[in-house]
Amino acid sequence: KSNLKMREVALIYLDRSGGLQKFVDDCKLYNDSKQSYAVYRFLISINPSDIAELDAALGNHILHEPVKATQIFQSVCYIAVKTLSLIEQLQTEAQINIVLKLTHLPSLPSYVLSLCEFPFDYTSQRFYMSEGIVIAVTTVTKYTQGARFLCSEETCPFSEGFQYIRIHTPGATESATVRNDFVCHLCASPLREDMKFRALGEKQLVEMIDAKALGAFQGFCNSKPHFRVQSFTVFLRDELANKMKMGNRYKVIGIPACIQNCSQATVCIEANRVQLCSTKCPSCISDNFKHLLSLTSSSCWRFTAILANIFASQVVPPGTYNTLKLFILLSLVQTSDRDEETAEYLDLLIVTSDSLIINRYTSSVFFF
């Protein structure tokens, strides 16, 4: 019964916010295309304060149980499609993929995910806001947004139709959407994917780090003499791809997730909204730092080496500090004004379990 009430409120919200009109327009585009899809994707803009004012329970649901809240909007939208005959081709509720796009989060400490504080609370699949600087971006690749599965037993009614539709949910890996061990609820036969209906979306990974890391580079003192800053991955999907640029500072609203990769667990955030921040921290370089640069200007390596010694352990990702030091050391040895022929070579004994990294580093030193 509370679900019914929330659906009612969701409909009222959609109507008042103009979201219903946008949904009807989006449906028209699908209907006019006459093409049959496994999944029909809709973005719905959500202002959490407006919803909470309308109905506290639904507002709370959206902020703290976004997956369940999405299902409520999915039902409402399906009923709208059916009663108003918006998309002829659409057959089941499972085919509706709703993405709730939050305008903001309440500005309360419990919604802030601090990148400096461990452990992350990634077990509760709800919205958090975090802020940081982009230090790496990948190219845009494809991911499975949705897929259609059919029962492999020909006599089963679910061997056709759109009963088994799998849709990517925030924080889920590819294997959660597409796998070969799903079974039919009706006859327990294995399901097989209907490949021609696979819906692909765009995905980009962005590495972010807390702005405090930049402070360390600029030479501003931190109250704690030693602090560690861990970078983390942000997943940008579909309309968010290419929305973040290297070096810029952003506020990201998203759902934290833990991705198990062999023996390693990586905490990442699936972005829902990305907002460029105006930098409040000083963009200048401190006088101490400029002084250090002038003192070390006699050598092209001294400045970098000092930086690595003083700051690198605090700002580089764990496990790479020794590699960085070795890299600088080798570069120092190889950097000399002497002729190529008379250059003395350095014998190195390296003990490692990963020869690939050493191969890469020694070869890059020689080409430096």
Which of 73/149 has CB closer to Zn ion? 149
Does position 187 bind Zn ion by CB under 5 A? yes
Judged by beta carbon, residue 151 or residue 234, the one nearer Zn ion is 151
In the block, residue with structure tokens 């959500």 = 46
- To Zn ion, the closest distance from the beta carbon of 163 in angstroms equals 9
In the complex, minimum distance from the CB of residue 191 to Zn ion, in angstroms, rounded to a whole number: 8
Q: How many residues bind Zn ion (CB under 5 A)?
A: 8
Are 187 and 117 in contact, with CB atoms under 8 Å apart? Answer: no
Q: Identify which range of 145-153, 211-219, 239-247, 284-292 contacts Zn ion by CB under 5 A.
A: 145-153
Interface with Zn ion by CB under 5 A: which range of 12-20, 188-196, 250-258, 352-360?
188-196
Q: Which is nearer to Zn ion, 38 or 184 (CB)?
A: 184
Cα(99)–Cα(169) distance, rounded to whole angstroms?
9
Find the shortest distance in angstroms from Cβ 234 to Zn ion. Answer: 39
Strand stretches in the chain, DSSP E: 40-46, 96-102, 128-137, 141-151, 164-167, 191-193, 199-209, 232-237, 249-261, 264-276
Q: Nearer to Zn ion by C-beta: 180 or 320?
A: 180
Q: What contacts 68, CB < 8 A, 6 or more positions away? A: 61
Of 146-175, binders to Zn ion (CB under 5 A) are 151, 153, 156, 158
Looking at 8-16, 137-145, 185-193, 287-295, which segment touches Zn ion (CB under 5 A)? 185-193
Nearest C-alpha neighbor of 274 from the set 251, 255, 242:
251
| CB closer to Zn ion, 13 vs 158 | 158
In the bound complex, what is the minimum distance in angstroms from residue 174's beta carbon to Zn ion? 24
With a CB cutoff of 8 Å and minimum separation 6, the contacts of 15 are: none
Stretch that binds Zn ion, among 63-71, 176-184, 205-213, 252-260 (CB under 5 A): 176-184
Closer CB to Zn ion, residue 154 or residue 354? 154
SS3 state of residue 55: coil
Nearest-approach distance from CB 184 to Zn ion, in angstroms: 3
Nearer to Zn ion, 165 or 211 (CB): 165
Residue 190 is encoded by which pair of tokens?
Answer: 């294995």
Q: At what angle do helices 2-17 and 19-33 cross, to 10 degrees?
A: 90
Separation between Cα atoms, residue 347 and residue 368, nearest integer Å? 18
Supply the DSSP string of 143-209, one letter for each residue.
EEEEEEEEES-TTSGGGSSS-EEEE--TT--HHHHS-S--B-TTT-PBEEE-GGGPEEEEEEEEEEE
As measured in angstroms, the least distance from the Cβ of 179 to Zn ion is 17
Q: Exposed, middle or buried: residue 132 (CB in 10 Å: 0-12, 13-18, 19+)?
A: buried
List of residues contacting Zn ion (CB under 5 A): 151, 153, 156, 158, 184, 186-187, 189
